[in-house]
Amino acid sequence: MAGDGSATTTAEPPPRHQVLLLRPFPFVSAYEEAFRSKFEPLKPSESNEPLHSFLITHAQSVKALICSAMKPLPAATLRCLPSLELVVTSSAGVDHIDLEECRSRGIVVANAGDSYSVDVADYAVGLLLDVLRKVSAGDRYVRGGLWAVKGNYPLGSKVGARRVGMVGLGSIGSEIAKRMEAFGCHISYNSKNRKPSVSYPYFSSVHELAIDSDVLIVCCALTEETYHLIARDVLLALGKNGVLINVGRGALVDEKELVQCLVRGEIGGAGLDVMEDEPNVPKELYELDNVVLSPHKAVFTNESFSNLHELILGNLEAYFSNKPLLSSVI
């Protein structure tokens, strides 16, 4: 007690767990402070060591890492980290992670959950509106001085009452479907399995879904089974007035076939937030006014990043407290 001559001791703060950040992660300042108060970030990007050497240096101490879809996490990298127990990705998709290696090692994986769902849904609807109502194309027409020279721009198309086929009806797809219902659209869907709680018509075949749709919105996960799911036969089934919107992954669509169908007028238009070989975009698409291109930014809002940061911190805290993860994948 103070004043009785005994020494006053101060409790040492608990040691911080080291967390590997495989690439620079854009924490909002408030969340970075919260992160550093509980975890010690290890950043290869700020080291002079090559990545492999950096991983070897910290091999025994790293139990958790944060990655993103922008950089693959292959088995070779995971094997440099024998003490690794947890992978947290800042993306909803996990196709960039070697999940088989994680399963065989007992490494648990958490993703972004539904942090992005609302914002991606808004963006998907925005792409569709833009394609059908020719917003970006009209903007270019005005800025190019063509309005005064050539007169009125060609008519766009109504959004309401269209048949919208959802390729994937997870958290993002469900949010998109709700928005399209508000436009008076008729919703149907394809997914790996029928969802008993959903009243929308279900198609087990994407080809059959395309035949029945005016618009296909692609928002499913990229797996071996869904690679090039949207192939030429699906695009032709969608038809010359049909519109494709992709806010999932570029490789869900056979991009070469898509380009050919668009150039030949075999489908009506496309709104693409993702490409197969990002950031490279087929140059043929630059000249098409019925195509709206976006640099993989559907998820990026201040609000979605705040949600993501909270989820990442929550997953790390849960794991190191022996509690269930908030957004476990495996």
Q: Are residues 275 and 194 in the same domain?
A: yes
In a domain, 4, yes or no: no
Alpha-carbon span 268 to 11, nearest angstrom: 68
Q: Are residues 171 and 84 in the same domain?
A: no
Q: Are residues 172 and 264 in the same domain?
A: yes
Residue 249 bears catalytic tag? yes
Q: Dihedrals φ, ψ of 135, to 5°?
A: -65, -55
Domain around 230:
117-293
Q: Are residues 240 and 187 in the same domain?
A: yes
DSSP one-letter string for 170-215:
SHHHHHHHHHHHHTTPEEEEE-SS--TT--S-B-S-HHHHHHT-SE
Among the listed residues 46, 100, 278, 303, the single catalytic one is: 278
Q: Are residues 109 and 125 in the same domain?
A: no
In a domain, 37, yes or no: yes
- Whether 8 shows a pLDDT value over 80: the answer reads no
Among the listed residues 228, 296, 310, 317, the single catalytic one is: 296
Among the listed residues 58, 96, 249, 309, the single catalytic one is: 249
Residue 163 bears catalytic tag? no
Q: Do the Cβ atoms of 39 and 63 come closer than 8 Å?
A: no
Q: Are residues 50 and 139 in the same domain?
A: no
In a domain, 28, yes or no: yes
Q: Are residues 94 and 134 in the same domain?
A: no
Q: Are residues 102 and 175 in the same domain?
A: no
Q: Are residues 167 and 316 in the same domain?
A: no
pLDDT 10s digits, 244-291: 999 999 999 999 999 999 999 999 999 999 999 999 999 999 999 999
Q: Dihedrals φ, ψ of 108, to 5°?
A: -85, 150
How many domains does the chain divide into?
2
Residue 224 bears catalytic tag? no
pLDDT 10s digits, 279-330: 999 999 999 999 999 999 999 898 998 999 999 999 999 999 999 999 999 9
DSSP SS3 for 62: coil
> Which domain CATH number covers 70?
3.40.50.720
